[in-house]
Amino acid sequence: RAPATLETATGPALTADGERVAILINVADPSELSDVPVAICDGIGLARTELMFNAPGAAGIGTSGGTGTGGGAGLADEETQLSAYRRLLAWADGRPVTVRTLDAGGDKPIAGYTVPNEANSFLGMRGVRLSLKHPDIFRVQIRALLRAAAEGEIRVMVPMVSVPSEMRQVREMVAAAAGELAAEGLAHKVPPVGMMVEVPAAALVLEAFDTDFVSIGSNDLTQYVMAASRDSADLHDLADPADPAVLALIATIVDKAGRRAVPVSICGDAGGDPAIVPALLDAGLRTLSVAPAAVGRVRRAVNDYRSAAA
Ligand code: PEP
Ligand code: MG
């Protein structure tokens, strides 16, 4: 699967003004990583975990086979998840590994877990909404993440957060899981817990959220700002992450995060588009998480960038 264009340059990515820009990678399937030299990036900015629950041959939710703690019949159990997170940590070799909690629903259905035939699935039960509705399943993922965090630089990222109470509930579940693991004598650590900002409501009142970091999900943010579905060919031109309205909201997010010294990055596809990278850097972003195959072109776009202020 090695993309012919895979980056080989290593070391910090610098703008033409000499400013450092961190470039991390997005991973959907850990097997992608075997061809990627870790030295080309600054870590994993988004590890999707949907595949663990939905891959052919994986223990899917609602099927038989799961044996882990409290998982219910058949989901990827705690030990299976822990070993997947360990593989990411081993690959990252000390760099941060940002694991997104299960982001099912919308364009990512999981049989037996997501709500079938929702009239408007992108506005329905997705991401953290589903996780909070299925605390038994969410709890297993949180336990596995806390155990992995004892062994490396895990960061937990929560998708589709819309209101502050969702982050509060997640934190309560994290604290409860830490208590359980302590009582069981299992090594664990509470990692940074951050949120994706991909719902305009969260972007507009970001200061109200208890979050250790934020990562902008420009794919969903764009469709919600533009009221244009991300998967419609007819609306492709309208669902433009470089639309001034989307860029204005991205700049707002970066500003609000900066005022609270909350680290901010982008992990949507816009970050991997060299035509959009200058606008993202203008908006103040200095951490981009992109597909492995995009690292080279993003690095070159960063190298060419000179800030208007400089
Ligand atoms: C996004 O919405 O930009 C994002 C990174 O998440 P996903 O594409 O998996 O919804
Ligand atoms: Mg998203």
| Nearest listed ligand to the Cα of residue 100 | 1
CA separation for the pair 26, 150 (Å, rounded): 22
pLDDT of residue 39 exceeding 50, the answer is yes
Return the closest-CA partner of residue 157 out of 281, 13, 44: 44
**What is the arithmetic mean of pLDDT over 137-149?**
97
Predicted confidence (pLDDT) per residue in 243-291, tens digit: 999 999 999 999 999 999 999 999 999 999 999 999 999 999 999 999 9
pLDDT of residue 112 exceeding 60, the answer is yes
Q: Which of 125, 148, 262, 267 is catalytic?
A: 267
Contact 218 CB / ligand 1 (< 6 Å): yes
Quickly tell me which residue has 């970001």 as its tokens. Answer: 206
pLDDT for the residue numbered 62:
42
Quickly tell me which residue has 């909350």 as its tokens. Answer: 262
CA separation for the pair 168, 257 (Å, rounded): 18
Predicted confidence (pLDDT) per residue in 180-230, tens digit: 999 999 999 999 999 999 999 999 999 999 999 999 999 999 999 999 999
Q: What is the mean pLDDT of the chain?
A: 91
pLDDT of residue 234 exceeding 80, the answer is yes
CA distances, 282 to each of 220, 230, 268, 279 (Å)? 21, 24, 17, 5
Residue 54: pLDDT band by 50, 70, 90 thresholds?
Answer: low
SS (H, E, C) 247-272: HHHHHHHHHHHHHCCCCEEECCHHHH
267 in catalytic set: yes
On whether 219 is known to bind a ligand per the annotation, the reply is yes
Residue 93: pLDDT band by 50, 70, 90 thresholds?
Answer: very high
Q: Which of 267, 273, 287, 290 to mutate to test the pocket of ligand 1 (most atoms within 8 A of CB)?
A: 267
CA separation for the pair 300, 104 (Å, rounded): 34
Contact 288 CB / ligand 1 (< 6 Å): no
CA separation for the pair 236, 198 (Å, rounded): 18
Contact 103 CB / ligand 1 (< 6 Å): yes
Contact 217 CB / ligand 1 (< 6 Å): yes
The identity of residue 188, as a single letter, is H
**What is the arithmetic mean of pLDDT over 71-86?**
78
Task: Residue count of the chain, please give it.
Answer: 310
Quickly tell me which residue has 């850097």 as its tokens. Answer: 281
Q: Which of 196, 225, 250 to mutate to test the pocket of ligand 1 (most atoms within 8 A of CB)?
A: 196
CA separation for the pair 299, 192 (Å, rounded): 27
Respond yes or no on whether ipTM tops 0.85. yes
pLDDT of residue 82 exceeding 50, the answer is yes
pLDDT for the residue numbered 63:
37
pLDDT for the residue numbered 73:
35
- Can you read off the two tokens belonging to residue 225? 């700002």
